[in-house]
Structure 1
Amino acid sequence: MIYLDNAATTLQKPPCVKEAVLRAMDTFGNASRGAHAPALDALRMLMEARITLASLFGVDDPMRVVFTPNATVALNIAISGIEGHIVTTAAEHNSVLRPTYRRNNYTIVPFDNLGRVSTKAISSAIRQDTGAVVLTHASNVTGNVFDIQSVGELCAARGIHFIVDASQSAGLLPVTMKNISALCFTGHKSLLGPQGTGGLCLGPNYMPESLYVGGSGHHSFDSKHPQQLPDALEAGTQNAHGIAGLLAGVQYIQSTGLNAIHHQADTLARRFAHALSAIPGITLYGDLTAPLRVPIVSLNVKGYDSAQVASLLFEKYGIAVRAGAHCAPLVHEGLKLSGSVRFSFSHFNTAEETELAVHALSVLASKSE
C-alpha cells in the first residue's frame, strides 16, 4: 500500500513511538492518583512531555501546555473563552467554524482564487468589539500556509487575542508562541503520535474556562475544580499511554530536525504537483508555487467524482488518499467544488511512490477523455 493520507493521520510512525506506548501500557499507573512508582512514572512522563512541547512551540512555562484528546477539543476550549466578536477565515476546518458559528457574532474573511488570505483583509474585518482572530496556520485542503507572524503582530497591536490552529503545521513548520494567545495542536498528524492526543498551549495573558470539571487527583474536598494550570483545563485521567507515544514522536522530530522532515515531504509534494500540472484533465488547487507550503496537493480528475477517484486509486493501485470536503466546507464552496481528492505526503514516503501515484492519475485522466 502507498499511504498518502498523512494530513488525516500519519500511518507510518518511527518505531520509538510504538515502543513508548507499549512500555507505558506495561508500566504506567494513574498520574496524580497515587504515590507508588507506576503513578509517579506516569506523572513524570507527562511533565517531560509538557517540557518537550514547550520547547518545540516556544512556551515560556511548561505548565501552560494543556493536554486534550485532539485539536478539536483544544479549539473548542480556546474559542469558548473569547468574549465579543470573532474574526476567522473561509480557509478553516470545521473544528474552528462550528465553535465559531455557535457564538452568532463573527466575521468570515474570504480567500482569493488560490485560497490565500491576506493580513490586510483580516485587519479590515476587526471591529471595536472583536475579541479574537482565529486562523489556521496551514490549510488542510490547499496546503497554503498563512502568515501567522504578521497576524499575530496585528492582534498584539490591536489588543485582541490570537488563536492558531496548528493541526497541519505542528511537526512540519516552526511555530512560536510569540503574539499567540492559544496554539491548538493534534498529536496524530505530523507530530507522529497516536490518535487521541493533542493539546493547547496558552500565552501568559489568556486563560479560558474549562469545558469539563471533575477529578483532578487533589483538592478533592473542594466543590470547584482546581484553578491552576494545567489542572484547570485537564479533568479526569490523562491519556498517559498515548502521550508517551506523542513524546517519543516529538523527540524523534527534534533529533531528526524539523527542517529536514519538512524538506523531504515538501520536495515529494512539489514534484508530484509539477508532474500532474502537465496532464490534461487534472485540476490542482492552491498556491502551488508559494515558497512555503505544507505537503498537501488537492485535485480533481475530469469526468470523475472525487470519491470515485479515491476508490479506484485504492482498488487498482493500492494508493490511500482522502476524498470529499475534508471537513472544510467553505474552502470547497469558495473554489466552487463539491469535493476534492487530497494527497498528503510524509517524509516516510518515497520518490518511487510519488511516481506511481502520478502514473495512476495519468491513466485515470486518459480514460476520462
Structure 2
Amino acid sequence: MSFYISGGILIIYLDHAATSWPKPPAVNQAMQLAMEESAANPGRGSHVMAVKASRVIFECRMQLAKLFNVNNANDLAFTHNTTVALNMAIKGILQEGDHVVATMVEHNSVRRPLEYLKRTLGITVDYVKVNGKGELNLRDVEKALRQSTRLLVCTHSSNLLGSILPIAEMGRLAHEHGALFLVDAAQSAGILDIDIERMNVDMMAFPGHKGLLGPQGTGGLYIGPHVDLEPLIHGGTGSQSEEKEQPSVRPDRYEAGTPNTVGLAGLTVGVKKVIELTPKWIYSHEWSLTQRMMEGLMAIPQLTLLGPDQGQPRTGIVSFVHDKYDSSEIAFRLDREYGIAVRAGFHCTPLAHYAIHTEKSGAVRVSVGLSTTEAEVDELARAIKQICSS
C-alpha cells in the first residue's frame, strides 16, 4: 500500500526502524481526545481534568506491564525516547571503578554514555565482537565478564543488521557473574516476544514510536524492583513536594516534570493493537516480507546484503551495500525518483560497521513494518535494480 502525505506526494515508507508510520487511526483519535479532555497535569491537582490525565498515564503503564509481563506497573518509568531511558539506566547505576560489558552492535545511545563515563568516572568497558552477520557467541560474553563487572548491556536486535541477540541467555550469564542486565529494546519492543521475568532482564529501555505504534516523544525504562537508580533528572513530581530530595516512591522518582500525557494516550492504543495482534504474528509478518525482499535484492549484481542469511531469524531490517553506487546516492534516488523512503549512512552504530567492515561506505537500510505490503517490497527491488543498472 502506498500513502499520500502532505502536498499530495506519493510515498512508500520503508523506514520503520526509525519510526513506524502510518500509525493506526485509533492512535491519532486517542491523542486528539486526550488533547480535548485530559491535557492537564496528572498528579498535580484534584480537579476533573487532572484526574483524567492521571488515568491516561495509569492505563498506558498497565498495558505495557501486560505486554512485557511486568509484575508491578510502577516499575515502568516513562521517558521521551529510548535514548533518555538508556542514559537513565547507565548513568544511574554505574560508579567509579565499575566494569561494563557491551557488544559491537550497540547504538550510540549505549556507546556514548559509556564512553562519557569512561572519561569522567573511570569505568572500563569491553565490547564483545560479533561475526559478519551480527551474531554473538555466548562464550565470548562469558569470557568478558569479570568480578568487577557491574553491568552487561546489549541491544535485543541490531538496528543495522536485524540480527537478534540471545538476551535470555545473556541475562543468565550476567546474573551468574553478579552483574545487572540492561536491554536496549529499540528494535524489538512490540515485534519480538519479551518476558521480563523469563528473560532475566533487570532494566529495559524501549521506544513508543517504533514497534509499539505510538507517537514520537514517548518511551520508557523498566527498572527491576531490586534496582535503585540515581535519578537522571530532578524536579517536580506532585508527590512529597515538601521534601528537598527527589521522592523515593516509584514511578515519581524517575518522572520529574510534566509528562507527555497526549502522547501516552496514543501509545496506549498502539500497545493495545500490538497485544491484539501479538508480537508473534507481527514478527512473522515482518520476517516474511524481509525474506521476499532479500530474494529480490540478491538477484541484483554487485549488491551485498548484510546481516543474517536468508531463512534465518531477523527483525524487519535489510541493509545492503553496492560495489559501484554510494549508499547515500541510492537512498536519494529512491526518494526523489521512486518515492521510496529508506535510510542511508551509519545509522548511529559505527561499531557495527567496523565489525562488518562497512565503516567507509555506510549502508542502505530498508525496514518494514506492520503496514508494509508485498507490493511495496517488490517495488523497492524493482527500483533498486533500475538504479544499479543505469
TM (normalized to structure 2)?
0.92
Contact 1:82–1:208 under 8 Å retained in 2: no
SS of the residue corresponding to residue 102 of structure 1 reads helix
Residues 142-199 of structure 1: CA deviation (Å, up to 9, x unaligned): 0000000110111122221000000000010011112111010011111100000000
1:290 deviation in Å? 5.6
Contact 1:265–1:347 under 8 Å retained in 2: yes
Q: Does 1:51 align with 2:55?
A: no
Q: How does 1:122-137 map to 2 (within 5 A)?
A: 122-137=141-156
Quote the residue 1:89 is aligned against: 103
Quote the residue 1:254 is aligned against: 275
Can you give the 5+ residue segments of structure 1 that lack an aligned partner in the other structure? none
Q: Does 1:39 align with 2:50?
A: yes
Deviation beyond 6 Å, 4+ runs, structure 1: none
User: What amino acid is the match of 2:382?
Assistant: H
User: What amino acid is the match of 1:166?
Assistant: A
- Cα RMSD after superposing both structures: 1.0
**CA distance in structure 2 between the partners assigned to 1:137 and 1:115 by the alignment:** 12
User: What amino acid is the match of 2:253?
Assistant: A
User: What amino acid is the match of 1:130?
Assistant: T
Contact 1:139–1:168 under 8 Å retained in 2: yes
Contact 2:287–2:314 under 8 Å retained in 1: yes
Contact 1:68–1:74 under 8 Å retained in 2: yes
Can you give the 5+ residue segments of structure 2 that lack an aligned partner in the other structure? 1-10, 119-123
1:100 deviation in Å? 0.8
**CA distance in structure 2 between the partners assigned to 1:35 and 1:328 by the alignment:** 45
Contact 1:177–1:203 under 8 Å retained in 2: no
SS of the residue corresponding to residue 286 of structure 2 reads helix
Quote the residue 1:193 is aligned against: 214
Quote the residue 1:12 is aligned against: 22
**Structure 1 range deviating more: 282-291 or 144-153:** 282-291
Q: Does 1:61 align with 2:80?
A: no
**CA distance in structure 1 between the partners assigned to 2:302 and 2:310 by the alignment:** 20
Residues 57-101 of structure 1: CA deviation (Å, up to 9, x unaligned): 111110101000000010001111134100001100000000111
**CA distance in structure 2 between the partners assigned to 1:320 and 1:114 by the alignment:** 24
User: What amino acid is the match of 1:10?
Assistant: S
Q: How does 1:59-208 map to 2 (within 5 A)?
A: 59-80=70-91, 81-83=93-95, 84-104=98-118, 105-178=124-197, 179-208=200-229
Residues 251-287 of structure 1: CA deviation (Å, up to 9, x unaligned): 0111122222221121111110122112211111011
Contact 2:146–2:177 under 8 Å retained in 1: no
**CA distance in structure 2 between the partners assigned to 1:226 and 1:240 by the alignment:** 21
SS of the residue corresponding to residue 117 of structure 2 reads coil
SS of the residue corresponding to residue 131 of structure 1 reads strand
**CA distance in structure 2 between the partners assigned to 1:228 and 1:221 by the alignment:** 14
1:309 deviation in Å? 0.6
TM (normalized to structure 1)?
0.97
Quote the residue 1:365 is aligned against: 388
Q: How does 1:211-250 map to 2 (within 5 A)?
A: 211-250=232-271
Q: Does 1:210 align with 2:231?
A: yes
**CA distance in structure 2 between the partners assigned to 1:290 and 1:131 by the alignment:** 36
**Structure 1 range deviating more: 350-359 or 78-87:** 78-87
Contact 1:64–1:201 under 8 Å retained in 2: yes
Quote the residue 2:347 is aligned against: 326
**Structure 1 range deviating more: 214-223 or 92-101:** 214-223
SS of the residue corresponding to residue 389 of structure 2 reads helix
Structure 1 residue corresponding to 2:33, chosen from 3, 18, 23: 23
Quote the residue 2:121 is aligned against: none
SS of the residue corresponding to residue 77 of structure 2 reads strand
**CA distance in structure 2 between the partners assigned to 1:23 and 1:288 by the alignment:** 45
Quote the residue 2:364 is aligned against: 341
SS of the residue corresponding to residue 41 of structure 2 reads coil
Contact 2:163–2:315 under 8 Å retained in 1: yes
Contact 1:273–1:288 under 8 Å retained in 2: no
Contact 1:262–1:347 under 8 Å retained in 2: no
